Amino acid sequence: MAADPFRETAFAKINLALHVRKRRDDGYHELETLFAFVDAGDELVVAPADRDSLIVYGEFSGALDCGDNIVEHALALLPRQDHWAVSLDKRLPVAAGLGGGSADAGAIFRLVERLHGLPDDWASLAAGLGADVPACVRSRAALGLGTGTELVEVSNDLAGAPVLLVNPRVPLPTGPVFRGWDGLDRGPLPSGDLRTIAMHGRNDLEPGAIALVPAIADVLGWLGQSGAWLARMSGSGATCFALYADAAARDAAAADVPAAWWHCAGNLR
């Protein structure tokens, strides 16, 4: 059965590694990061309408502001032959290091691409919405350079790898985490395939994020004892991820996640 052309998943983004190299004069940071995507996330449905509109529902809908939402900004940017009523089932926590809003915008770009085609300058339009948006449009593993908008292909030997996402249900805005970076350049990402870079990389934002939300250390400690071969914070937090050798190990860990924490089990794309 063909996929519904009017429905799209906003795949959760994780940073398998994130190296901060320097502060830039424009206020941003020079990054080297390894993007990967989980086969689960928010769900968007569009329908033809007289004007563009957005309805948000779901577990984390209360954290979003309709009327000033990145989905609406994406709709306004992209040329289409009709207007859309968009329904967004907000399943991913907000301010969580999963690229939630960027992933939602990326899903809109893919819907427009499927139904109308994208303009030649789609990548610059996406970057104008946020540094993670170009990666989220493609939702494929890639290296992100500069502020994260410069994408480089990488050998993806982790496609299908079982993954568990865990968040302590504490929102953590990106800005304060980056401001808490200690300014030390600890070196570039290693080279190699996805597994090699992930194994030998790091997340330079973890210490600053833990200082703001100590529960992140609790999540990482728990995941480290769950049978995972890698556990790390994603992006600016507070969500952490763990990778497992097989689905049975992931599912056993998911069944034991403390009830107070949000979690999502899936596979890398």
Task: Report, as residue numbers or ranges, the catalytic residues.
Answer: 13, 132
Cα–Cα distances (Å) from 210 to 32, 96, 171, 186, 229, in that order, read 21, 13, 12, 18, 21
From residue 75, alpha-carbon distances to 53, 118, 129, 135, 175 in Å are 9, 12, 11, 18, 25
- Phi (first) and psi of residue 22, to 5 degrees: -170, 160
Report the alpha-carbon distance of residue 10 to residue 110 in Å, rounded. Answer: 10
d(CA 101, CA 90): 10
Among 144, 148, 136, smallest CA distance to 109 is for 136
